[in-house]
Structure 1
Amino acid sequence: MIIFKNQYITVFQSALFQTTSTVIEMPEFVLVVDPTWLPAEVEQIKEYVYRNKGDRKLYLLFTHSDWDHIIGYGAFPDATIVASFELVNKDHKEKERILEQIYSFDDRNYIERGYEITYPKVNHVIQVDGEQLTVEGTTLTFYKAQGHTDCGLFTVIEPLGIFLAGDYLSDCEFPLIYHSSKAYELTLNKVDEILEQHNIKLMIPGHGAVTEDKSIIKQRKLESMTYIKQLRALLQENNKEQIEKMIEKYRFPRMMKDFHKENQQLLSEELGIL
């Protein structure tokens, strides 16, 4: 599963949706980010963490509340959980809907897990943009990243220069907009600020390939912004032919077609077209 590794960082990637799970090892603590998907994959991440953790404190960071990103929560019962205020304060029905997605996935695929499926109970709640968590000499700076969902976080870890982007800046998918296209654009605008204010050495998206190249980060941001603006304009023109052609360049066209249709529905509602 390991697609990137250095002295401090190990990035695992699931066979499903190229979903990444990251383990960051510092002298004082170990941080696990979005451990996911299949039981054997979660177990591999868990085994790696506990084999190497020693007596260091364990933190578990969720970049957002999508069910595929919280599915491994129960495998780390002793972890201190870090997530956004919005993730914590979803209403009961929304939390139940997210859990039902996990139950349904496991039932459809006859999957049994060695831990309980529950919604994360968060110990350290991120309230505002720029909020920081400092552990010894390591500082985590958090930025609200809304648009894909309403509860996302960007996280920058210094002095390592790690940028945890959640479900943004992927090389294998265009923006998947479940919350708001305008909020998504505002989040993308924070990428330039992060690159200016921090010495970013590695960007890890929630799906796809990591990159150490700032120019690639900027290019992915531009491509995402272009997709949103182009889709919005074509919907206003009712140009169905060009809307369909927008996703021809992307891999995994059958799945991308479904996501593209969902984006069309959301943006049409935002524009008052429907």
Structure 2
Amino acid sequence: MYKWKCGPVTLFQSDLYMTNSIVVETAECVLVTDPCWLPREVEEIRSYVQDILGGRRLLLLFTHSDFDHIIGYGAFKGAEVIASRAFMDKSEVEREEILEQIRTFDDSYYLQRDYEITYPQVDHVVEQEGQSLSFGDLQLTGYAAPGHTNDGLFTVVEGAGLLIAGDYLSDVEFPYIYDSSLSYEATLGKLDLILSRHPVTLLVPGHGEAADSRLEMERRKQESREYIHKLRTAAASGSQKAVDALIAGCAFPRNMSKFHKSNQELIVKEMAAGAGS
């Protein structure tokens, strides 16, 4: 699962959906982001962290509450959890639905874990735009990132030049929109603000490859925006052929087509309600 290490940043990538987990080291802290997926993959990350932790402070950052991103939470005992206000404010019903997705996934593949499946207990909440959090020499700045889900979070790791993007700005996925296409577009627009405020040199999405140039970050943003705009136009035309053409040549069509179809249904509902026009 280990993919690469660049300065204080180590990237682990699951065989499932090219899902990324990140470990960031400072002199006083170790930060782990979205540890996932399979039991042996989570164990690889946990073992790596145990080997390097020493007496440092252990923090877990969750970019959003999709089940694949919180699935490894229970493996990191004693870690302090960082997440958005919307992540923390999930209702008991919503939390149980997410946990049931984990149980269903594990049952489907006869997977056994040596830790309890629970929803993360948040210790440090990002609830203001551009809010800074300090943990000794680890400095984080968070920005709300709704659209994919309603509880997404962009996080800048100051001093490392790192932007942790969650399920946005991927090179392998078009936008997967579970919350709102308008919110998704607004979140994409925050990239320019973040890059103007912070010396970001590395962007890591939730799925796919990292981007190490601003030109590539901008390309991904524009590509995502164009997909949403074109999907609205195609959906409004009533032409399924035009809708389907938008993902012609996508990386994994047999799976990705269902997410595209879900996007279409969401945007049609938004247009019927007067949104997204």
Shorter-chain TM-score bucket reads over 0.9
CA–CA distance in structure 1, aligned partners of residues 147 and 206 of structure 2 = 15
| CA deviation vs aligned residue, 1:88-112 (integer Å, no higher than 9, x gap) | 1111111110000000000010000
- What amino acid sits opposite 2:35 in the alignment? P
| CA deviation vs aligned residue, 1:82-134 (integer Å, no higher than 9, x gap) | 00110111111111100000000000100000000000000001111111111
| CA deviation vs aligned residue, 1:188-238 (integer Å, no higher than 9, x gap) | 000111111111111000000012111001000000000001101111111
CA–CA distance in structure 2, aligned partners of residues 118 and 137 of structure 1 = 30
Q: How many Å apart are 1:7 and its aligned residue? A: 2.6
Matches within 5 A, 1:8-27: 8-27=8-27
- What amino acid sits opposite 2:3 in the alignment? I
Q: How many Å apart are 1:242 and its aligned residue? A: 1.2
- What amino acid sits opposite 1:101 in the alignment? Q
CA contact (8 A) 2:29 2:137 kept: no
Equivalence for 1:135:
135
Report runs of 4+ in structure 1 exceeding 4 Å deviation.
Answer: none
Secondary structure of 1:22's partner?
Answer: strand
Equivalence for 2:120:
120
- What amino acid sits opposite 1:244 in the alignment? D
Secondary structure of 2:143's partner?
Answer: strand
CA–CA distance in structure 2, aligned partners of residues 207 and 137 of structure 1 = 28
Q: How many Å apart are 1:27 and its aligned residue? A: 0.3
CA–CA distance in structure 2, aligned partners of residues 259 and 197 of structure 1 = 33
Which sections of structure 2, spanning at least 5 residues, go unmatched? none
Deviates more, 1:233-242 or 1:93-102: 233-242
* TM norm structure 1: 0.98
Give the alignment's Cα RMSD to 1 decimal.
1.1
Matched, 1:181 2:212: no
- What amino acid sits opposite 2:172 in the alignment? C
- What amino acid sits opposite 2:272 in the alignment? G
Which sections of structure 1, spanning at least 5 residues, go unmatched? none
CA–CA distance in structure 2, aligned partners of residues 139 and 52 of structure 1 = 19
Q: Aligned pairs, how many?
A: 274
Deviates more, 1:84-93 or 1:35-44: 84-93
Q: How many Å apart are 1:16 and its aligned residue? A: 0.1
Matches within 5 A, 1:66-215: 66-215=66-215
- What amino acid sits opposite 1:140 in the alignment? L
Q: How many Å apart are 1:137 and its aligned residue? A: 3.4
- What amino acid sits opposite 1:205 in the alignment? P
CA contact (8 A) 2:29 2:138 kept: no
Percent identical residues: 49
- What amino acid sits opposite 1:243 in the alignment? V
- What amino acid sits opposite 1:121 in the alignment? Q
Secondary structure of 1:243's partner?
Answer: helix
Equivalence for 2:37:
37
Equivalence for 1:248:
248
| CA deviation vs aligned residue, 1:161-211 (integer Å, no higher than 9, x gap) | 100000000011100000000000000000111111111111000000012
CA–CA distance in structure 1, aligned partners of residues 2 and 200 of structure 2 = 21
- What amino acid sits opposite 1:50 in the alignment? Q
Matched, 1:234 2:221: no
CA contact (8 A) 2:27 2:137 kept: no
* TM norm structure 2: 0.97
Secondary structure of 1:10's partner?
Answer: strand
Q: How many Å apart are 1:3 and its aligned residue? A: 2.1
Matches within 5 A, 1:40-79: 40-79=40-79
